[in-house]
Structure formats: structure tokens, C-alpha cells
Amino acid sequence: MRKIKFKKVRKTQSNPLEYTGKHKQFQSQLQLFLYDDVIFSEDGEFLIENFKKIDQSKNNWLNLHGLNDIELIERIGSYFKIDHFILSDILNTTRRTKVEEFSNTLFFNIKSLLPTEHSDNINVEQISFLLKDSVLISFQEKRSDFFTHIRERIRSHSGIVRSKKVDYLLYLLLDAIMENFYITIENEEDKVEQLIVLSKTSSNPEILVNIEKHRDNFNFLKRSIIPLRDSLLAIKSLKEDESFSIIEPETYNYFSRLYQKSLELLEQIESDMGILESASNFFFSSQAHKMNEIMKTLTVISAIFIPMTFIVGVYGMNFENMPELKYENGYYIVISIMFLIGVLMVFHFKKRKWF
């Protein structure tokens, strides 16, 4: 789990740009998709010197893989007049999901979550978007296949993506990222189902450790989705701002769908956390029940031997005036009485269904 660290240092100069993520082995690479309802072009190795190829009369999707080339990001910021603090948020992967609107530019920062293969951990990647005029810029920490199907839709002119503005493309990209939340939650639910079965059949304390691990994962998912929900709600509120026209009025309905999806995700997480709580309670109840069964068995055995112990104690005092000590068959008589008492008590406890 990532933690935010704060260092109390007074600086006389503004903070330099620095990538804080863990994917530092990926080289920065630009892609440009230029399209409208009629034409389409793709540049898989777009160079910063070719910004003149960006045609403001058409839709432009500029995608950056890898955030290690700080100079490249600064040049992108300079060309599109992006404020320094926005560039800092793009590179700082500890920032929470948020949306900001300034100078007719929309900035959206989101966390993409996916389960780690053969592990209970969750992979986190920060993806940022800048929507300005007819240009959408996406910043990814590493190359991934989140948007492969969207690229194919643009190439093949499938659906309405090429007939819409880049605000609709932003909706598609956010929707693809939110699908990762569904995949992650479904993966967690499969593991939780296994834990529930184990909690009913095994008393291994490792089960409780795994339950707490998945509870932490669900809490992490919840903390990731709540700011996403708030950001999508903020986009809905921009509809009433007549001065902000970068998003088409009909596109707000699509963002409303994303907002509803975020609510569904939160409801599902709440339900899953309730199931985990039930599994934890069942595990403790099962352990307590087994302990009660053990204690009941020991109590029954102790109760059977209490009168026998009393008899042994009485005849172990060896007083001279105890006539039974002189009987020739006294030992056999006492043993028979003790055995009879034991049998009667076992029969009585069995009849009362105490074991």
C-alpha cells in the first residue's frame, strides 16, 4: 500500500518536476492519433518536433507512454500552456484521483487498478488526461493494453467515436479504466469465496490473515473509487457552467453513466466487505464452538471421575475404625461401585445429550 510522506522543508525555489512512480524502466514514447469522421492517421513514434502535425480542426489524441523523460513533459506543457503544478500532479503518483478545470482546459487524474497475477496484491498505475480544445493528451506510466480496443475502434471507424469530439474519447478511456475496477473486484470476490469455504472447514489461523489482507484490498479499492466518484460528479456540475464549453452538452450524459458505475462499484465493495466480515465472524464462532466442544468433553470426563475421586479419598484416609478396610472383598466391592457410578453417569449424560 502506498503511503504519502511529508517532509517539512522550507524551499526558496519552486519544486522541480520529478517522477515518483515505480515504472522507471520504461522509456517515454509519444503516439498521435489524428481523426475525424472522414480521415484518420496514426503516428506510433511521434516526435516533439512534429507538433505542427497537430491539426486543431480535427480530433487529436496524443498518448505518452512512460513518464521518465521530464524534458519531454516540460516541452508538452510549454506547447499547450499547461501550468507547472498540473505537470507536477501528472508526475506525482501519490496524488489522489481528481478533476480540475482551468483556462478552458480539463485535467483528470485517475488510478488504474488491476490484480497481480499469482498474488493477493493490487497493481496501481496512475493515468492523467488533459482535454483542451480538440486535443486530448493522456499520460501513462507504462505501456499497457487498457486502450487497445479503443484504438482499433478509431482505426476501423467502428461505432461513433470518430464522429464525436475528443470529449467523447475521454469518456471511452475513463470507461476502459473503470472496467479494470470491475476486473479487480471480481478477482477479489473469487478469492473471498475460497476463504469462506476454508473458514468453514479449517481452523488454520492463516485464513484470518488472508481475510484481513483482502479486507485491506477492499478498503484500498474504496479509497480509490470515492475520489473518482466525486470527480465524475464534479464533471456533471460543469454542465451548468456556461463559460466552460470544452465538453459537448450531449456528452455529459455519458459521464453521468460513469458516475452511476462508480456508485455501483462502491455498493459492490460494501457488500463484499460485509461478506468478509461474516467470514471473519464465522471463523471466530467456529473456533469458539470447537473450544466449547473440547471444554464440554473435558467437563464430562471430570464430572465422571469426581465421585470416584471422592471414594478413593475417603478410603485413602486409613483410619483404624473404618470397618470396610477389613473386608476380604472390600477392594472389589469399591471398584465395582466406582465402575457402576461411572456407567450410570455416562448413561445419564448421554440421555441428556450432553455429548
Q: What is the 3-state secondary structure (H, E, C) of the chain?
A: CCCCCCCCCCCCCCCCCCCCCCCCCCCCEEEEEEECCCCEEEEEEECHHHHHHCCCCCEEEEEEECCCCHHHHHHHHHHCCCCHHHHHHHHCCCCCCEEEEECCEEEEEEEEEEECCCCCCEEEEEEEEEEECCEEEEEECCCCCCCHHHHHHHHHCCCCHHHCCHHHHHHHHHHHHHHHHHHHHHHHHHHHHHHHHHHHHCCCCHHHHHHHHHHHHHHHHHHHHHHHHHHHHHHHHHHHCCCCCCCCHHHHHHHHHHHHHHHHHHHHHHHHHHHHHHHHHHHHHHHHHHHHHHHHHHHHHHHHHHHHHHHHHHHCCCCCCCHHHHCCCHHHHHHHHHHHHHHHHHHHHHHCCCC
User: For every one of its 355 residues, what pLDDT tens digit does the chain have, with 9 covering 90 and above?
Assistant: 555 554 544 454 455 788 888 887 878 889 999 999 999 998 888 887 777 778 888 899 999 998 988 988 998 888 888 888 899 999 998 888 999 888 778 999 999 999 888 888 899 999 999 998 889 999 999 888 889 999 999 999 998 999 999 999 999 999 999 999 999 999 999 988 888 888 777 777 788 888 889 889 999 999 999 999 999 988 877 776 665 678 888 888 899 999 999 999 999 999 988 888 888 887 777 778 788 888 888 888 888 888 888 888 887 777 777 777 777 788 888 888 888 988 888 888 888 777 7
Measured distance CA(128)–CA(150) in Å, rounded? 17
Measured distance CA(224)–CA(126) in Å, rounded? 11
